[in-house]
Structure 1
Amino acid sequence: MDRTLVWIAVATGFGYVLACAQEPADALEAARSSLGMLAQSLPWIVVSMFLAGLVSQWLEPELVARWLGREAGIAGIVFGAVLGMLGTGSRFAVYPLAVSLLAADASPGAVVAFTTSWQLTSLARLPAEFPFFGVPFALVRFAISLVISVAGGLLFEWLWSVWSHFR
């Protein structure tokens, strides 16, 4: 089991013990709320894991490495950001897909650009912004978000390579 998960579980358990000691009704309500969120997200998590497993079988590592790998350089990071802006799925689908890309030899920077772009940009959501913000504002926000995704991927790629030398 992942040590980080164990520490988060211990901290959460400790938080519930403290909450129960201070206000048992609040702790019970928090537990009910958590179970409700689990019931709502569990089907998404299960289906997404199966989808990620299927996608990982379809991804050809050579193709992923060519388009998103370290050898692709900046173009791979830009391509990762472009793929992210096309995404419309939930985080339960996107994160397993991102892990599948990593397993298929995508560079860490391209995967960071992919997930960051997915969070900040979306071609499908862009038209919904127009009536609220206006077309110029929405387009500039979208463009800046895409640039941030690429810059984040480049920065992560550099930091990851530096950090990897010290491990």
Structure 2
Amino acid sequence: MDKVIVYLSGATVLGYCVAALWRPTIAAAGLESTFEMFWQALPWIVVSMFAAGLLSQIIQPKMVAHLFGRDTGVAGILLAAVLGVFGTGSRWAVYPLAAGLLAADATPGAVFAFMTSWQLVSIPRLPAEVPFLGIRYTIVRAAISILTAFVGGLIFDMVWDKLPPQNP
């Protein structure tokens, strides 16, 4: 088991214990909120895991490496930033997809660019934005968001390459 999840679990349990002693109503409301979020997210998590499993068998690592691998450089990161805007679904869908891209040798910067543009733009959500903020604002925000994802992907790869390798 990953140490991070152990530490986060311990901190969460400690937080609930402190809240239960200090303000029991806060702890109870926190548990209630947790169960509501859990039941809301559970179907997304299950479907996303099945979809990610299927995608991991369909997506060919050679294709991912060809589009988003080390040899693609800046173009791979830009392509990932642009393709991210077409993403649909919840965060429970994008994280397994991103993990699959990493496992198939996409650069961390390309995956960062894909995830960031998906979260900042996502074309299916744009029609909901236009009535409130206007077409001009929506287009400028989307363009700057894609640029942000692209530049972030470049920076991510530079930082990632400077980090020491992870121990298994």
Flag whether TM exceeds 0.5 (same fold).
yes
| Distance (whole Å) between structure 2 residues aligned to residue 102 and residue 50 of structure 1 | 18
- Where does residue 133 of structure 2 map in the other structure? 133
TM-score by length of 2: 0.95
3-state secondary structure, aligned to 2:100: helix
Structure 1 residues 128-157: Cα deviation after superposition (integer angstroms, max 9, x where no partner): 222222211111111000000000000000
Deviation of 1:165 (Å): 6.4
Identity %: 52
| Distance (whole Å) between structure 2 residues aligned to residue 166 and residue 7 of structure 1 | 18
The number of residues matched between the two structures is: 167
| Distance (whole Å) between structure 2 residues aligned to residue 165 and residue 56 of structure 1 | 24
- Where does residue 37 of structure 2 map in the other structure? 37
TM-score by length of 1: 0.95
Deviation of 1:42 (Å): 1.2
- Where does residue 161 of structure 2 map in the other structure? 161
Task: Give yes or no for the alignment of 1:107 onto 2:144.
Answer: no
| Distance (whole Å) between structure 1 residues aligned to residue 33 and residue 121 of structure 2 | 30
- Where does residue 79 of structure 1 map in the other structure? 79
| Distance (whole Å) between structure 2 residues aligned to residue 25 and residue 131 of structure 1 | 40
Task: Give yes or no for the alignment of 1:48 onto 2:45.
Answer: no
- Where does residue 15 of structure 1 map in the other structure? 15
Residue ranges of structure 1 left out of the alignment (5+ in a row): none
Q: What CA RMSD, in Å, does the superposition of the two structures yield over aligned residues?
A: 1.4
- Where does residue 2 of structure 1 map in the other structure? 2
| Distance (whole Å) between structure 2 residues aligned to residue 166 and residue 40 of structure 1 | 34
Q: Runs in 1 of length 4+ with deviation above 6 angstroms?
A: none
- Where does residue 91 of structure 1 map in the other structure? 91
Residue ranges of structure 2 left out of the alignment (5+ in a row): none
The residue type paired with residue 36 of structure 1 is: E
Deviation of 1:166 (Å): 9.4
| Distance (whole Å) between structure 2 residues aligned to residue 166 and residue 91 of structure 1 | 25
